[in-house]
Amino acid sequence: MSAAGANDSSPEEPWSLQKLSESLSVYIERLGSVWVEAEITPWGVSGGHVYGRVKDPDAEVTVDITVWRSTRDTLPDGVGQGDRVLIKVKPNWYVRGGRLSMNVLDLRLAGLGELLAKIEALRQALAAEGLFAPERKLVPPFLPSRIGLITARDSDAEKDVLRNAELRWPEVDFEVAHASVQGDKAVPEIIRALDTLEAKHDIDVIIIARGGGDFQNLLPFSDETLLRRVATRRIPIVSAIGHEADKPLLDDIADVRASTPTDAAKRIVPDVGEERHRIADARARLLGRLQSLVDGETDRLRQFRERPVLASPVSVVDSYAEDILRLVQRGVDVTDTLVELARTRLDGLRASMRALSPQSTLDRGYAIVQDDKGDLVDSVDDVSSGDRLRVRVRDGDIGAVVGDS
């Protein structure tokens, strides 16, 4: 059936509902697909398809939409109710039911939604490179000797960090580098300030701080150039951007994420009061432990002293006194016996020696005869007439000459 170019119906020749419905289908088909900007209101999944409704951001106009499963698989992650989107729709008129539907052929996030999608894509890319890995995080010192601070001049963030850090540790030392924290100048100025602070070797940690703001004002802290510069840091960096709900990509790549500038001061500087309390508590525990050890050793010594052997140590000696005396007496008896035996033997040896000695022989009336050479003469054959002899008797020597026999 061809579409009527003009309304040729009349009371005499009215159209059928079928003709009307088919004519609407032809007109709508000629429109084809169009791109529209709208805001998603209801959004639900059923059977793998999405059935929802979009409304005009500037007028009270709403239209039902359908996203078939094949198209749903191509949608941006996380899209849903409340998002502002650009959708490519193709109107379809169901002739039998007389119902208009909008089939979504493509969908993209619009405005901030598109920016969020780009930031999310950058987050995933940097994460895939391992720049968010925990093992890359640097640990700030317990008490930094000097702290670098990058923030806007005369900002509330600067005042919050300095004031709260000084309240926690009055001797804290800061080096402040001012930079723009929003707009086109923010990224290069923050990088320049970071380079300046890192060049100072006495700085132990750097805080990048900014107060709260809307999403667009915080975009510099999700800039890829800044993030890659922070990834090459040589000292720990603390991200203190906005409030708890704000989470730029700098939070992921920094070594420490503070929910607010005030929180950054609390995370980097210890509280002197708390540390004094901890020291006092540690000293008390240590003294208690030492006292417990001393008391325990004292009790052990007391128990040792109360033992019978230590209460009366002389009894130990007394118990062995008789044994010692008996052994001493036995030793004396044995010694006396040995000495007497040795004396008896010595006397016998002395008597034997006396009996066998030449002097004893002489004492019994015998004499010893020697020639003039000192040789013993024990035979008459050893001498001749006229030989001089020496006769030794008991009490001396007698000279003699051999005569004729």
Does 343 reside within a domain? no
| Per-residue model confidence (pLDDT) at position 321 | 81
Number of C-beta neighbours around residue 134 at 10 A: 5
Does 290 reside within a domain? no
| Per-residue model confidence (pLDDT) at position 3 | 45
Quick check: 28 and 92 in contact, CB under 8 A?
yes
Q: Is 316 left (phi over 0), alpha (psi -120 to 50) or beta?
A: alpha
On whether both 106 and 168 belong to a single domain, the answer is no
Instruction: Kindly state the tokens that stand for 58.
Output: 């500037």
On whether both 26 and 59 belong to a single domain, the answer is yes
Which residues, listed in sequence order, are joined to residue 43 by a DSSP beta bridge?
A: 52
For 112-178, give the DSSP string. HHHHHHHHHHHHHHHHHTTTT-GGGPPPPPSS-SSEEEEE-TT-HHHHHHHHHHHHH-TT--EEEEE
Q: Give the number of domains in the chain.
A: 3
| Per-residue model confidence (pLDDT) at position 240 | 94
| Per-residue model confidence (pLDDT) at position 148 | 96
- How far, in Å, CA of 238 to CA of 329, rounded? 92
**Looking up tokens 């800061």, which residue turns up?**
174
| Per-residue model confidence (pLDDT) at position 4 | 44
On whether both 126 and 43 belong to a single domain, the answer is no
Does 318 reside within a domain? no
On whether both 37 and 166 belong to a single domain, the answer is no
Quick check: 64 and 102 in contact, CB under 8 A?
yes
| Per-residue model confidence (pLDDT) at position 187 | 95
Quick check: 162 and 174 in contact, CB under 8 A?
yes
126: containing domain:
119-270
Domain endpoint, select from 270, 293, 316: 270
Does 64 reside within a domain? yes
Return the closest-CA partner of residue 253 out of 230, 234, 273, 233: 230
Domain endpoint, select from 248, 270, 292: 270
On whether both 104 and 171 belong to a single domain, the answer is no
Does 342 reside within a domain? no
pLDDT in tens, the chain (405 residues): 444 445 678 888 888 888 888 888 888 888 888 998 888 888 888 888 888 888 888 888 888 898 988 888 888 777 777 778 888 999 988 888 888 888 999 888 776 666 777 888 899 999 999 999 999 999 999 999 999 999 999 999 999 999 999 999 999 999 999 999 988 899 999 999 999 999 999 999 999 999 887 777 888 999 999 999 999 999 999 999 988 777 899 999 999 999 999 999 999 999 888 888 899 999 999 999 999 999 999 998 888 777 776 777 777 677 788 888 889 999 999 999 999 999 999 998 888 887 777 777 777 778 888 888 888 888 888 888 888 888 888 888 888 888 876
On whether both 46 and 140 belong to a single domain, the answer is no
On whether both 105 and 213 belong to a single domain, the answer is no
Assign residue 58 the CATH number of its domain.
Answer: 2.40.50.140
- How far, in Å, CA of 219 to CA of 238, rounded? 17
| Per-residue model confidence (pLDDT) at position 172 | 93
H-helix segments, 8-111: 17-31, 69-72
- How far, in Å, CA of 161 to CA of 248, rounded? 19
| Per-residue model confidence (pLDDT) at position 236 | 96
Phi, psi (deg, nearest 5) at residue 202: -90, 0
Assign residue 124 the CATH number of its domain.
Answer: 3.40.50.261
On whether both 161 and 103 belong to a single domain, the answer is no
| Per-residue model confidence (pLDDT) at position 111 | 64
Domain endpoint, select from 81, 110, 139: 110
On whether both 183 and 105 belong to a single domain, the answer is no
On whether both 97 and 180 belong to a single domain, the answer is no
On whether both 90 and 47 belong to a single domain, the answer is yes
On whether both 159 and 101 belong to a single domain, the answer is no
